[in-house]
Amino acid sequence: MRIIRYLKALSSAQLAAVTDEGKVYELPQQDFLTLLKEAEAADSSPLALVEKLTAGAQPLSQSLEQLELLVPIEAPEVWAAGVTYERSREARNYEATGGRMDASTFYDKVYDAERPELFFKSTAARTVGPGGEVQLRSDSEWQIPEPELALVLDGQGRIVGYTIGNDMSCRDIEGENPLYLPQAKVWKRSCSIGPAIRLTETVEDPYSLQITCRIYRDGNKVVEGSASTGQLKRKLEELTSYLVRDNEIFEGTVLMTGTCIVPPNEFTLADGDRVEIEISGIGTLVNPVVRAS
């Protein structure tokens, strides 16, 4: 079972549930956070509440593909984990050492350390949804999307759903100095999530999800890569346990779990590109890329 938001009438957002058969049912709650709160108040899981609300209801006549999807949750905060896959460690080492790859770096250290790398990535205002434009920084020459499994958390840091995240990143800025990480990661429209939230109980094994990233330029596919969440070095609860530690977590916080797909080193995103990130069972997040305005 997946939860989406779509544009119903001019500027009115509608929450809906999508079954595995692709049937779409409107939900009465105005957003995912309200659904979470009502489920908690009823001492029920979000899935049980959705099943109760949709039992015997009439599905929409439109299919999912015919709807104009919006960001599925206006996450108050988006956090991200880094260097959680071997491929990310290798790519970070490349950009930090100018490709020498001879000395051990802090990326090697954090990959093996008990404490994971977690960083603040975005706020609702900086985050776009399906079809929304992600923006390039004007002061970077080496920018890439980072396709990541993203966790939707309740106020206690429990995983209530899975979505797709794009952690847009500037490899040159981070490579120049790791203290520039916030600038390499956070700017206007540098984060995308969606297109749907798959409820936790409906995911049999979050460590066997297939992630595929495709980048199109002038209608041609210029990058394609795939990975599995089975390659993740850490457990999802390990990441959430560090995020909640001595922290205030807001209902609907999103935590991206790190990237395992990095485009070839000579590649940088350009104005007009289109990024597609697909995760099995969740959907495909599509975003056009635009230069800073």
Question: Cα 38 to the chain's mean position, in Å?
Answer: 24
Asked if 43 and 218 count as a contact pair (C-beta separation under 8 A), the reply is: no
CB of 30 or CB of 231, closer to ligand DO4? 231
Residue 117 contacts which entry, ligand DO4, Mg ion, none (Cβ below 5-8 A, type-dependent):
ligand DO4
* Binding of Mg ion by 143 (CB under 5 A): no
Task: Quote the least distance from Cβ 82 to Mg ion, whole Å.
Answer: 6
CB of 54 or CB of 122, closer to Mg ion? 122
CB of 46 or CB of 206, closer to ligand DO4? 206
Task: Quote the least distance from Cβ 82 to ligand DO4, whole Å.
Answer: 3
CB of 206 or CB of 258, closer to ligand DO4? 258
Instruction: Output 235-239 pairs: Cβ under 8 A, ≥24 positions apart.
Output: 236/151, 236/159, 236/206, 237/159, 238/116, 239/81, 239/84, 239/116, 239/118, 239/151
* Binding of Mg ion by 31 (CB under 5 A): no
Helices (H), 80-180: 86-97, 106-112, 171-176
Part of the chain binding Mg ion (CB under 5 A), chosen from 101-109, 142-150, 201-209, 246-254: 142-150
Chain residues in the site for ligand DO4 (CB under 6 A): 80, 82-84, 88, 92, 117, 146, 167, 258-259
Rounded to 10 degrees, the C-alpha dihedral 149/106/139/227 comes to -30
State the Cα–Cα distance between residues 253 and 107, nearest whole angstrom: 26
Task: Quote the least distance from Cβ 89 to ligand DO4, whole Å.
Answer: 8
Residue 92 contacts which entry, Mg ion, ligand DO4, none (Cβ below 5-8 A, type-dependent):
ligand DO4
Pick one of 259, 282, 286, 289: the residue that binds Mg ion (CB under 5 A). 259
Instruction: Output 220-223 pairs: Cβ under 8 A, ≥24 positions apart.
Output: 222/267, 222/273, 223/263, 223/264, 223/267
State the Cα–Cα distance between residues 220 and 223, nearest whole angstrom: 9
Task: Quote the least distance from Cβ 202 to ligand DO4, whole Å.
Answer: 25
Instruction: Give the amino acid at 101.
Output: M
Pick one of 146, 251, 273, 276: the residue that binds Mg ion (CB under 5 A). 146
Task: Quote the least distance from Cβ 65 to Mg ion, whole Å.
Answer: 29
Task: Quote the least distance from Cβ 109 to ligand DO4, whole Å.
Answer: 11
Residue 215 contacts which entry, Mg ion, ligand DO4, none (Cβ below 5-8 A, type-dependent):
none
Helices (H), the chain: 32-41, 46-54, 86-97, 106-112, 171-176, 181-185, 236-244
State the Cα–Cα distance between residues 283 and 258, nearest whole angstrom: 18
Binding site for Mg ion (CB under 5 A): 146, 167, 259
